[in-house]
Structure 1
Amino acid sequence: MKLYIKRLENAKDLPIPKFMTSGSAGMDLYANVAEPVIINPSEIKMIPTGIAIALPKYYEAQIRPRSGLAIKYGISFVNTPGTIDSDYRGEINVIMINFGSEPFKINRGDRIAQMVINKIEVPEIIEVNELDKTERDKGGFGSTGL
C-alpha cells in the first residue's frame, strides 16, 4: 500500500508526516498556521495541516488527537476520529477543541494530530425483518454495569 502525500505551497517548510517510532500506529501531522493561534477554553478552531493525500480505494485515514495534548492541556477534536476518504484530495484540517481551563497556543509546525491508515471492508448489505438475539440484545448505555 502506498500513501501519496502532497505538501501544499504554503507548507513546504513543514516536515512531511512521519512515524515518530518504529512501533507507532499513527504519523504526526503539523500545524500549518501563519501566526500562532490561541484556542481558549471551550473554544473550537479548525487548524490546517498543509497536506493533502491520495489513498487507494477501500482505505481511509483517521485523524486522531495526540494523547500528550489531551492529558497535559485538555486538547481534543470535536469529531474524533476524523475520517479522510480515499477520494478526498483537499487539505486535511483538524477541528480542535480546548477542554482545558487555560488558553492553548498552537505555533507553526507544532505536532497537533496523528494520522492512522486503515483498510476498509465493504460489506454486502442484506436487509432482514429480524436480527438474531443475543444475551445483551437491546441493552446499551451502561446496561452491563460499571
Structure 2
Amino acid sequence: MSYYVQINKLPGNEDVQLPCKMSEQASGYDLYAAVGEAVVLAPGERKLIPTGIALAMPDGLEAQIRPRSGLALKHGITCLNTPGTIDADYRGEIKVLLINLGQEPFAIARNERIAQMVFQAVPAVSLVEVDTLSATERGAGGFGHTGK
C-alpha cells in the first residue's frame, strides 16, 4: 500500500535538504538540521534541533523519529523520547530532541543529518473494558522474567 505524504519547506529553509533515503531499501528518511548557525551540544546536554519542514500525513499513518546509528556509535549523539511520534494531524515544524551522551562536545551544522524518520501504519483500535483477561503461559511476567 502506498501513502502520499505532503512536505512543506518552511520559510527561510529553502536550502535545507529534504528528507531522503540513503539507500534504495532503507526504511528511514534522513532528517537534516535547519539551524541558523552551528549548535554545540556539550556532553550531557540536550537541545531541540529544527528541521525546517512540516508534514501532512493521511489518517492511519504516523512518522517516528529515531536516532542515526552512526552518530550514536561515533559520537554518542542520540534522540530522547525515542521513537518520537509525529501524529497525522500535526502540522507544525518537525524538530528533533538530541542529547550528547558522548565525552566530547559535538557541533551540529546546517544541513547535517541528525536523525531518521520512519513512517508506520497505525491500526484502528477499540479498547474494550473487561473484568478479567485470558490466561497465557507468560502471565504477568515483566522486566527480566526470561533471564538476563
The match for 1:127 is: 129
Amino acid at match of 1:26: G
Distance 2:118 2:125 in 1: 21
The range that moved more, 132-141 or 104-113, is 132-141
Q: Taking structure 1 as the reference length, what is the TM-score of the superposition?
A: 0.98
| Aligned 1:101-140 pairs, distance under 5 A | 101-140=103-142
Q: What is the percent sequence identity of the aligned residues?
A: 53
1:99-120 per-position Cα deviation (integer Å, ceiling 9, x unaligned): 1111111000000011111110
Amino acid at match of 1:140: G
Report Cα offsets for 1:29-74 as digits up to 9, x if no partner.
1000011000011111000000000000111000111000011111
Correspondence for 1:10? 12
Which contiguous aligned blocks of 4+ residues in structure 1 show a shift greater than 6 angstroms?
A: none
| Aligned residue-pair number | 146
Partner of 1:34: 36
**Mapping of 1:56-75 within 5 angstroms?**
56-75=58-77
Partner of 2:51: 49
RMSD: 0.7
Shift of 1:78: 1.2
Amino acid at match of 1:125: L
In structure 2, list runs of 5 or more residues that go unmatched: none
SS of the equivalent of 1:9 reads coil
TM-score when normalising by structure 2: 0.96
Q: Which residue of 2 aligns with 1:76?
A: 78
Aligned match of 1:144 in 129, 143, 146? Answer: 146
SS of the aligned residue for 2:15 comes to coil
